[in-house]
Amino acid sequence: MYDLKSVKLPRLSGVPLKLLRFLLENPHTRRLLAPGLLTSAGVTAYRQQIDSSAPLAEPDMQNSWSAARVAEPHPVNMATRAVVSPWASINDLHNAFRAGTMTPLAVAEAAIARRNHPDYQLLNAFIAADDTALLRDATAATARYAAGQPLGLLDGIPVSIKDEFSVANYRTGGGTSFLGATPATADATPVARLRAAGALIIGKGQMHEIGLGVVGTSRAHGPARNPYQTNHTAGGSSGGGASATASGLALIALGADGGGSIRIPAAFCGMVGLKATYGRISSHGSAGVVWSMSHPGPIAPYPTEIASAYVCMAGSDPADPATHNQPLPVAPNLGRRDLRGMTIGYMPAWFEHADTEIVSHCRSMLHYYRSAGAELREITVPGLEAARVAHTIIITSEMLNGLGSQLTQNGHRLTDETRLSLALSREFTATDIAHAQRTRASFTATLRQLFTTVDMIATPTAGLVAPIIDAATIHQGMSDLSSTFEIMRFAFAANLSGLPSISIPAGYTKAGLPVGFQLMARPWKEALLIEAAQVAEQWRVSIQPKIYLG
Helix extents (H) in 234-336: 239-246, 263-268, 303-313
How far apart are the C-alpha atoms of 233 and 240, rounded to whole Å? 10
Establish whether 18 is a catalytic residue. Answer: no
Cα dihedral: 523, 466, 39, 442 (round 10): -10
Q: HEC string of 466-510?
A: CCECCHHHCCCCCECHHHHHHHCCCCHHHHHHCCCEEEEEEEECC
Catalytic pick among 160, 162, 294, 497: 162
Using DSSP, state whether 510 is helix, strand or coil.
coil
How far apart are the C-alpha atoms of 363 and 352, rounded to whole Å? 9
Q: Are 510 and 503 in contact (CB under 8 A)?
A: no
Q: Are 5 and 385 in contact (CB under 8 A)?
A: yes
How far apart are the C-alpha atoms of 66 and 140, rounded to whole Å? 46
Q: Give the Cα-Cα-Cα angle 98, 150, 533 (nearest 5 degrees).
A: 80
Q: Are 66 and 448 in contact (CB under 8 A)?
A: yes
Q: HEC string of 37-50?
A: HHHHCCHHHHHCCC
Q: Are 491 and 263 in contact (CB under 8 A)?
A: yes
Let me know how many helices (H) and strands (E) the chain has, helices first.
20, 11
Terminal CA-to-CA distance of the chain, rounded, Å? Answer: 47
- For 426-464, the DSSP string reads TT--HHHHHHHHHHHHHHHHHHHHHTTT-SEEEEES-SS
- For 156-177, the DSSP string reads T-EEEEETTB--TTS---TTSS
Q: Whats the size of the chain, residue-wise? A: 550
Establish whether 162 is a catalytic residue. Answer: yes
Catalytic pick among 261, 292, 294, 542: 261
**Parallel/antiparallel/unpaired status of strands 252-257 and 158-162:** parallel
How far apart are the C-alpha atoms of 246 and 226, rounded to whole Å? 8
Instruction: Give Cα separations from 38 to 65, 461, 481 (angstroms).
Output: 35, 26, 12
How far apart are the C-alpha atoms of 38 and 162, rounded to whole Å? 32
Closest among 165, 154, 160 to 188, alpha carbons compared = 165
How far apart are the C-alpha atoms of 207 and 174, rounded to whole Å? 7
Catalytic pick among 166, 218, 237, 247: 237
Establish whether 237 is a catalytic residue. Answer: yes
User: Which residues form the catalytic set?
Assistant: 162, 237, 261
